[in-house]
Amino acid sequence: MTKGKRLAGTIIIPVLVLIITNVICMSRGVTMFENSLNWLTFARAVANVSLVTFALSINLNSGRFDFSVGSIALLSSVFSATLAVNHELSPVVMLALSLLFGMLLGLASGLVYVTVKLPPMIVSLAVALFYEGMAYHFTKGHGVSFINNRELLDFASIPNYLIIIAVALIFMIIVFDHTTFGYEYKALQSGQKVSVNIGINEKKNAVICYAIAGLLMGAQGFVSSTTTGSIQMALNFGSIGPMFMAFLPMFIGGYIGRFSNDKLGYLLGAVSTSLISLLYVRLDVNSSVQQVVSALLLVGFLIFLNNENRIKNLFRKH
């Protein structure tokens, strides 16, 4: 494949989305990126979506459906925010704590999975319930609030979000594309039995995957909590919502991965969906319409992805 084709394949989707969203906005007399606040909204959305997409993709690409990512973000941010508020910690320390707690919670989830050897979906349901309950019990249902802590709230800035996004992307590329762990991960992904038979320690690999996913969700929990300065509790699987925002970026990432790097693809997928989010904000689109449009985009893109050859043949005939 030529460099030109690779580049085209990599950027075509985000560029198309950028053009279309801008055209729609202009037709309504609105500018997409009118001021710095719009850029901030966009950067925050990219950070949120890309972190969740990275986290979900780690396990989903190995056939492990994980409902517990939202609960890990919730509980890790509860712990880190409580410590930050009680000990007047800086946002960087709070972020570090969130990452640490996220990683530990993910690790615990992974250890449960490899110990009980139950289908990951089942394990994730139990973990989600447990972590939600733990967060509720820890805060006595009140959640955590730091709306008066300007230092923590001021973390929400474009440079900080860009740093988080860049670090997450570089981390994912290095760990999954340039380490032994990453090679073993890919081997297990494509041939589980064969990989185990040749001596790859599947359990260790799975536990590390869960820990990394937890680390990323710890970051997402931090980004989310510093947006409003408060963390609301969730019970009865109320925390599984964030998981669904990652599917479209993941599929876009999978497509882009053919031309370049799938992690970069996930990020560009997040950029694409965040542009759409910003469009909703700029045009004040109501929630029902947002849901329908997002669903149609997901199905539409999947139809394209799973029927590319048919579509190509259709065009060739004509």
Partner 1 sequence: MDNEKIIRREKIKNIIFQVAPVVGLIIMFALFMILAVIKDINIPYSMKNILNQSVIVVVVATGAIFIYTLGSFDISLGANMCVSALIGAMAYNRTNSLLAMLAFCLGTAVLISSVCSILASVFNLPVFVTTIAMLSMLNAGVLMLIGANGTGDIVQVPAAAVSAINTTWFKLLVLVAYLAISIFVFNFLKLGRQEKFVGGNPECARLTGLNNSRLAILGFIMAGIGVGLGAFLTITYAPTLSRNTASSVGMDVIISIVFGGMPVSGGSRSKIYSAVVGALSMTLLSQIMLMLNLNSGISQMVKAIIFILVVYISMSDNRKNILPR
Partner 2 sequence: MKSMKKVLVLMLSLLLVVGMFGCSKDNDGSGKSTDGIDDSTNVKIGVLVADATGAEALAFRSYYENYIQKQYNVTFMYSDELADAAAEASAIDNFIANNCKAIISFASADRPAQIRKCAENKVYYAVATGTLSDEEYKEFKDNEYYVGAIGPDLYTEYLAGYNMAKYYLDQGKTKFAVFGGATPYYVDMHIYRTAGILVALCEAGGGNYNGASDMGSMIGTIYGMNCQLTPAVIGSVELVSYIGGYDFDDAWFGKLAEAANNPSVEVLLAVGSGLDTFAAFKKPNQFLGTVDAYTADAVKAMEAGTLNYLAGKFSASIGPIFMATLSAVQGKPIRTANGEALALSQGYWVATSADEAKNFYAVDSSTTDPAYTRAMLDTLFGASYDDFAKFVGAFSFEEIQNLKK
Q: Which is nearer to partner 2, 192 or 232 (CB)?
A: 232
Q: How far is the CB of 246 from partner 2 (least distance, A)?
A: 12
Q: Which is nearer to partner 1, 174 or 299 (CB)?
A: 299
107: contact with partner 1 by CB under 8 A:
no
Judged by CB under 8 A, the number of residues near partner 1 is 54
Binding residues among 176-205 for partner 1 as defined by CB under 8 A: 192-193, 196, 202-203
Binding residues among 262-301 for partner 1 as defined by CB under 8 A: 287-289, 291-292, 294-296, 298-299
Q: Which is nearer to partner 2, 261 or 274 (CB)?
A: 274
The string of DSSP codes covering the chain is: --HHHHHHHHHHHHHHHHHHHHHHHHHTT--TT-SHHHHHHHHHHHHHHHHHHHHHHHHHTTT---TTHHHHHHHHHHHHHHHHHHHT--HHHHHHHHHHHHHHHHHHHHHHHHHH---HHHHHHHHHHHHHHHHHHHTTT--EE-TT-HHHHTT-SHHHHHHHHHHHHHHHHHHHHSSHHHHHHHHHHH-HHHHHHTT--HHHHHHHHHHHHHHHHHHHHHHHHHHHTEE----TTGGGGGGGGGHHHHHHHHHHTTTS-HHHHHHHHHHHHHHHHHHHHHTT--HHHHHHHHHHHHHHHHHHHHTHHHHHHHHHH-
119: contact with partner 2 by CB under 8 A:
no
Q: How far is the CB of 121 from partner 2 (least distance, A)?
A: 22
Write each residue from 152 to 181 as x if it is in contact with partner 2 (CB under 8 A), else as -, in one continuous string: -x--x-------------------------
Q: Which is nearer to partner 1, 123 or 211 (CB)?
A: 123
118: contact with partner 1 by CB under 8 A:
yes
Write each residue from 10 to 49 as x if it is in contact with partner 1 (CB under 8 A), else as -, in one continuous string: ----------------------------------------
CA distances from 305 to 8, 154, 248, 255, 311 (A): 17, 41, 11, 7, 10
- Residue 45 binds which one of partner 2, partner 1, none, with CB within 5 to 8 A depending on kind? partner 2
Q: How far is the CB of 203 from partner 1 (least distance, A)?
A: 7
Q: How far is the CB of 212 from partner 1 (least distance, A)?
A: 16
236: contact with partner 2 by CB under 8 A:
yes
Binding residues among 259-318 for partner 2 as defined by CB under 8 A: 274, 277-278, 280-281, 284-287, 290
Q: Which residues bind partner 2 (CB under 8 A)?
A: 37-38, 40-41, 44-45, 48-49, 136, 140-143, 145, 147-148, 153, 156, 227-230, 232-236, 241, 245, 274, 277-278, 280-281, 284-287, 290
